[in-house]
Amino acid sequence: MLFTETALKGAFVIDIEQRQDTRGFFARTFCAQEFLAHGLKPTVAQCNLAFNHKKGTLRGMHYQVTPATEVKLVRCTHGAIYDVIIDLRPESPTYKLHVGVELSAENRKALYVPEMFAHGYQTLTDAAEVVYQMSEFYAPDYQCGLPYNDPAFGIEWPLPLSEISEKDTSWPLFESVLDSSHAQPGMRM
């Protein structure tokens, strides 16, 4: 695997290294030893699959707080998405900054999302399918989110919005909460 750190400290785009022959290719998509060698958390507690019918669908911006903070490894296995992460670690030099990466079945890239990063994506195609490896179990009492269009971050999404959940339109603005690191269990940020 090839690990390329994004502009956000600790967040990586991971490319596969193809071993090709006449049958096609073989590639490793996850290796705990390689993740550890890059200082990344290799724990996998659960894997999730999201299927999205329409181009322009938006999911996010989600994260979990202590004691259930989670690492995500996100890959698009069908279609394409524009994946966005926001650094919510107050001690980080990239605090409140975000990056966006196109993940697709064609480019086979994955995005490593560290703990205390908000994560969301917009589908660039119909029938987009996304696979997540999670370091922590889903803990609804510790889930938080931010609006996809929060002015504190100025994220520019590539397409007009076609679908979004009611829950994802109801998260409070970042500036209405003193500091994301002070979130308490059950507190919707």
Q: Where are the domains of the chain?
A: 2-17+25-182
Q: Please give the pLDDT value at position 187.
A: 43
Q: Please give the pLDDT value at position 178.
A: 52
Q: Please give the pLDDT value at position 106.
A: 98
182 is an active site residue? no
Cβ proximity of 155 and 100 under 8 Å: yes
Domain 2-17+25-182: CATH superfamily, name plus number: Jelly Rolls (2.60.120.10)
Task: Using a pLDDT cut of 90, give the percent of the chain over it.
Answer: 93
Q: Which of 38, 119, 132, 148 is catalytic?
A: 132
62 is an active site residue? yes
Regions of the chain with pLDDT less than 70? 178-189
Q: Which of 53, 62, 63, 78 is catalytic?
A: 62
